[in-house]
Amino acid sequence: MSRDLKDLLYELVARIGKAMSSPKRLELLELLAQGEKTVEQLATEISVDIRLASAHLKSLKAARLVTSRRDGKYVVYKLSGSDVAGLWVMLREVAEEHLLELRMALDQMVADPKRLAPLAREVLLERVQRGEIIVIDVRPQHEYDTAHLPFARSMPLSELKQRVAELPKNKEVVAYCRGPFCLMSDEAIAILAGHGLLASKLPDGVSEWQAAGLPLIRSSSMQGKPKGVPS
């Protein structure tokens, strides 16, 4: 093998690393792991203007990590494969293992560590199947419709205060959102605890669940256009 060819091989693999070297692009990958979204939605979620969001998405597309399509006035992005979501999970887990600063930052996100669901994933599934625990997905409805954990109920954070009465007070409620960096489930358990429910947070999102080899419920009929504003 010539030196030039070997250099090319490493350069091509490095293209993936370069595309993922921006914090905002990592956040975009995490968001797109929840389902396809418009540029406008993504820009709002990561708190940048549409032009900058588009530039980040073009970098990810150039590395073949995302694909796009036009749907009327909208440009819609999605991950190029489920392995991209798995790559994000693996990268984050390696960072958690080796970066003390990251572990400390994650600890600060959880005001009360006792609010983290202490159960192994398989045990959680068994207890949910037996009706001992209720799992709620507090992400937006369209993300739940794309894919969600088995037995999870959709209770978007924006609706939770109005729907708390739907949850029985004699059972533990476990809330999850987009993964350990997501704060929606922390807000959800604070709301639930304020209404006298025993609530805890599952750090997993659909990407972590899938990476662990556990089943997801997917919708094969999601044909609707993600909401957004015209581009």
Q: Which of 177, 188, 197, 206 is catalytic?
A: 177
Angle between helices 50-62 and 39-46 (to 10 degrees): 110
| Residue showing tokens 């556990």 | 214
Helices marked H in the chain: 3-19, 23-32, 39-46, 50-62, 82-98, 100-109, 121-129, 141-146, 157-163, 184-194, 206-211
182 included as an active-site residue: no
- Using alpha carbons, select from 210, 190, 212 the residue that is nearest to residue 201: 190
Determine phi and psi for 129, rounding to 5 degrees. -60, -35
- β-bridge mates for residue 123, sequence order: none
Angle between helices 23-32 and 39-46 (to 10 degrees): 130
176 contacts 192 by C-beta, under 8 angstroms: no
7 contacts 38 by C-beta, under 8 angstroms: no
SS in 3 state form for 98-135? HCHHHHHHHHHHCCCHHHECCCCHHHHHHHHHCCCEEE
Catalytic machinery residues: 177
